[in-house]
Structure 1
Amino acid sequence: MGYISAKKKSTVPSGGWTDLWRQEDYWAMWLGLTIVLLAVLFWSSGNNFMNWIVLKIPNYSDYRTALNYIGGHKGALLALYLFFLVLFSIAVKALTGEVKRFLLGFTFLFFMSLLVSAWGSWDVMKRYNFETPLLALVVGLIISNFFKIPYWLSTALQTQFYVKLGIVLMGASLPVTLIVQAGSTAFAQATIIAVATFLTIYWTGTRIFALDKRFAATLAAGGSICGVSASIAIGGTVKAEKQHVSIAISLVIFCSIIMIFVLPLAIKTLNILPGPAGAWIGTAEFADAPGMAAAAAINEQAIKTFILMKVVGRDMFIGIWCFIMALTSITRWDKRYIGTNPNALDIWIRFPKFVLGFIIASVIITFLAASANVTTSIAINNNLINPIIELRNWAFIFTFLSIGLSSRLKELASVGWKPFAAFTAGVLINIPLGYLLSVVIMGNYWTTIK
């Protein structure tokens, strides 16, 4: 689920009914839609609960402003903490059963998130474009690389779960018409990026560095489709060694963290507009969580185009790629390692279910807004969509802190030079090709996405 636990899991989805409550994808969808439906229920009944619990510390130059704001919202802060704690504990009970340790770990994570949020609202941080997501990542990295993270805290560092939940909530701020409109463009661009990057890493790994084909395919999936999830899924599909899957995951994390800082800097240096910038991040980043951090360093429009490019475009490839790689492994590599033929049902089994939650959330809000008059539309935006966006922002802060707290740079850097070189070859193709497509060729299109 998080980066720590991801290294321990090399299994792949089974596709059975138990997946409905044993996979984080489903729980991210269930809980995300629960939050959206609760927001709709409170709004329709005239209850202001959702607006009350979400906290957004105002920008300040005097730290007492932040302290006074937090002091004046202690009840809402406690309610927000309990709101997340109850929902997450239900999922953790079903997924790992380690609720007691999670309660302690999440309490620490929540109040660290509060401190980071307060620090990120300081005008000095704003002046230097050091946004809260990047600050959360840096704080987490400093702590994890100078102190040993206790196990009780590691149980709360569920990076993949938090980011998937945040993406589901993101659907509430994107009309389904926009998703449909951008879907074909995002999918076409994703196809070019995924194929070019995958083939580059695979060819470099096998032909130049003589890596095992299954190992090279696992590396290529992590660099071209959806990061950690793709490395685990493709690695399991082609029967790659567990050590090779772990190396692929480490490379994805290591390179993703570097890109969190490099991409926003390049975007600001080149004066790229937010829309194309978010799309470029969506093609250049390897995983959802780091990509979200990079996009959040730009603005809300960049987050939207990143989501459309990465989630709607690239993430949905994973099921198709798993099927293709299973077929390739069986027919061209070694039939002895896999005893059954690939099934088209694998495309559904591998499909990232949280994407469905993202789309359903979009449909719900779009349906409500479709028949609303001007006054009601304003009310929906202020009392329904904005609170969901703020809850999404909290989920992303949990994500970025979890990335930092579960990433030890010394361990991530010790993966061997050959896999690193093969992966880097994909990066050298991915970044300029993403820039060409997102900024030069389709820049005007991505600029229109608001």
Structure 2
Amino acid sequence: MSTTVSPVLTRRAFTLHEDWVVVVLGGLLIGLSLLGLPFAVPVFNWNNTAELTGKVFSAANLQLILAQFVYLAAVAGIGARLTGKSVRNFALGFPLVYLLTLLALIVAGSPQARGLGLEAVIFSLLAGLIVSNVFGLPDWLRATLTTELFVKIGLVLLGTSVIFGDILKAGSLGLVQALVVVLSVWYFAFWTCRKLKVDDELTMMIASGVSICGVSAAIATAGAIKGDSKKLSYVISLVLITAIPMMIFMPYAAHWLGLSQEVTGAWLGGSIDTTGAVVASGTLVGETALKISTIVKFSQNVLLGLAAFAISLYWTYTNHPNAAEPEGKPTLGVIWERFPKFVLGFIAASLLFSFFLAPETTDGLKAGLKSAQGWWFALAFTSIGLETNFNDLFKQENKKPLYAFLLAQTFNIFVTLGIAYLLFR
């Protein structure tokens, strides 16, 4: 009598199961917030040594940090258990990841880092890279890292901050610009990568990172195509590094060109890839520029879920068909199986906070959920750093992706300037 292996035990079904776990955990975090158990929000910003010791390391703030650790460890531990990882090894490894991330957030809260608009994720990535490359990691600890779990939970929570109503009230211009910029820049970046013979995974991550919303888009794309975390780390590094000179010099370029605050804000929000750098750059110009730049950036964020869905369909139809499947186009069942379920969580969270919850309710939950989202992303970047070797980041064959990224970003700057001028002058 023949026997068959249950699909639940296959690797593909297991990956699908992990995606559903992410949706469940994201929903759990949102549900706990709605039930009055919000995520603790400690203070990490400080201006001098006295504030560092008196605010960040005060007894009250340390209690909030401890509560935050317990909250994160419990949720991540549930995720590790449901995805089949060793809970014992996870319990030994997670405190290291948390402590490195905590250190990164404290450094990011310094006046120097805030003045440059540097986000915590770049410091958490650097912290992981330093530990991995200087000290090395034992195999058991490396096996406990749950980068994808952290990333996808953060993406589900990101949906709570993408409020359709706020963007629609600001008018349609931001949405029009976002749509035109994303489509044109994405295609140019894709075409450039193909011309330079960049591999398929890096091509998709670079195109999304440059055109949509930087780090979040690169992460979402990596999740949609199940991309290599080392390649994702490389793209994230490019996004974060190039955002710094753009953030500093673009406001001065706008002043030299005689652009209005409206046009300048639309230009900044549409071309700078990280939200923190957009806010810092808009602040240098003025209140109106800050408002417009934020609206345009949020408009691009709205497209993230749709973009991840489209990318997953494209990837399924054109790349790496499963060897066990017959040749030809995948069936609807295969498309559904490969579809990244965190996108459903992202969209559901956005719809819930946009249309089903009262504004006073969402306003009361924003701080805690925003902090939780930032923490999951920061934990993910720390884990990516711990998994990555400098030699992999800067080896010879990575020059072509670098050239492709810089060319695409240059195109992004000029095409966004033209569209912003036409729409917002």
Cα distance in 2 for residues equivalent to 1:140 and 1:303? 32
216 and 108 in structure 1: CA distance in 2 versus 1, 3 angstrom threshold: closer
Greater shift in the superposed pair: 306-315 or 294-303 = 294-303
Give the alignment partner of residue 30 of structure 2, picking from 32, 36, 39: 36
251 and 388 in structure 1: CA distance in 2 versus 1, 3 angstrom threshold: closer
Q: Deviations over 1:177-233 (max 9, x none)?
A: 45787777645543333333323322332xxxxxxxxx8444533433465775797
What residue number does 2:391 align with?
Answer: 410
Residue 167 of structure 2 contacts residue 299 of structure 2 at CA under 8 Å; is this kept in 1?
A: no
2:197 corresponds to 1:194:
no
Cα distance in 1 for residues equivalent to 2:299 and 2:388? 23
Work out the number of aligned pairs and report it. Answer: 381
Cα distance in 2 for residues equivalent to 1:297 and 1:134? 16
Unpaired segments of 5 or more residues in structure 2? 1-9, 209-216, 255-263, 283-289
- Listed as ranges, the matches of 1:316-331 within 5 Å are 316-326=309-319
138 and 440 in structure 1: CA distance in 2 versus 1, 3 angstrom threshold: farther
2:53 corresponds to 1:59:
no
User: Residue 321 of structure 1 aligns to which amino acid in structure 2?
Assistant: Y
Q: What RMSD over aligned residues (CA atoms) do the two structures have, in Å?
A: 3.9
TM-superposed CA distance for 1:431, in Å, is: 1.0
TM-superposed CA distance for 1:405, in Å, is: 2.6
What residue number does 2:304 align with?
Answer: 311
TM-superposed CA distance for 1:360, in Å, is: 1.2
- Listed as ranges, the matches of 1:210-289 within 5 Å are 216-225=199-208, 227=218, 250-271=230-251, 276-282=267-273
Which SS does the other structure have where 2:388 is aligned? coil
Residue 172 of structure 1 contacts residue 365 of structure 1 at CA under 8 Å; is this kept in 2?
A: yes
Which SS does the other structure have where 2:247 is aligned? helix
User: Residue 267 of structure 1 aligns to which amino acid in structure 2?
Assistant: M
Residue 18 of structure 2 contacts residue 82 of structure 2 at CA under 8 Å; is this kept in 1?
A: yes
Residue 110 of structure 1 contacts residue 398 of structure 1 at CA under 8 Å; is this kept in 2?
A: yes
2:136 corresponds to 1:148:
yes
What residue number does 1:399 align with?
Answer: 380
Give the alignment partner of residue 404 of structure 2, picking from 409, 419, 426: 426
Task: Provide TM-score, normalisation by structure 1.
Answer: 0.70
Cα distance in 2 for residues equivalent to 1:147 and 1:202? 37
User: Residue 257 of structure 1 aligns to which amino acid in structure 2?
Assistant: S
Residue 147 of structure 2 contacts residue 383 of structure 2 at CA under 8 Å; is this kept in 1?
A: yes
What residue number does 1:108 align with?
Answer: 96
What residue number does 1:83 align with?
Answer: 71
Percent of pairs identical after alignment?
20
Cα distance in 1 for residues equivalent to 2:232 and 2:270? 19
User: Residue 173 of structure 1 aligns to which amino acid in structure 2?
Assistant: S
80 and 366 in structure 1: CA distance in 2 versus 1, 3 angstrom threshold: same
281 and 159 in structure 1: CA distance in 2 versus 1, 3 angstrom threshold: farther
User: Residue 433 of structure 1 aligns to which amino acid in structure 2?
Assistant: F
Residue 21 of structure 2 contacts residue 82 of structure 2 at CA under 8 Å; is this kept in 1?
A: no
Cα distance in 2 for residues equivalent to 1:411 and 1:62? 37
What residue number does 1:435 align with?
Answer: 413
Cα distance in 1 for residues equivalent to 2:206 and 2:346? 23
Which SS does the other structure have where 1:50 is aligned? coil
User: Residue 411 of structure 1 aligns to which amino acid in structure 2?
Assistant: D
Cα distance in 1 for residues equivalent to 2:305 and 2:186? 13
Residue 46 of structure 2 contacts residue 56 of structure 2 at CA under 8 Å; is this kept in 1?
A: no
Cα distance in 1 for residues equivalent to 2:167 and 2:323? 43
Cα distance in 1 for residues equivalent to 2:222 and 2:154? 22
293 and 403 in structure 1: CA distance in 2 versus 1, 3 angstrom threshold: farther
55 and 231 in structure 1: CA distance in 2 versus 1, 3 angstrom threshold: closer
TM-superposed CA distance for 1:369, in Å, is: 4.4
TM-superposed CA distance for 1:269, in Å, is: 1.0
What residue number does 2:161 align with?
Answer: 173
User: Residue 104 of structure 2 aligns to which amino acid in structure 1?
Assistant: V
Residue 138 of structure 1 contacts residue 404 of structure 1 at CA under 8 Å; is this kept in 2?
A: yes
What residue number does 1:361 align with?
Answer: 349
Cα distance in 1 for residues equivalent to 2:112 and 2:223? 40
Task: Provide TM-score, normalisation by structure 2.
Answer: 0.74
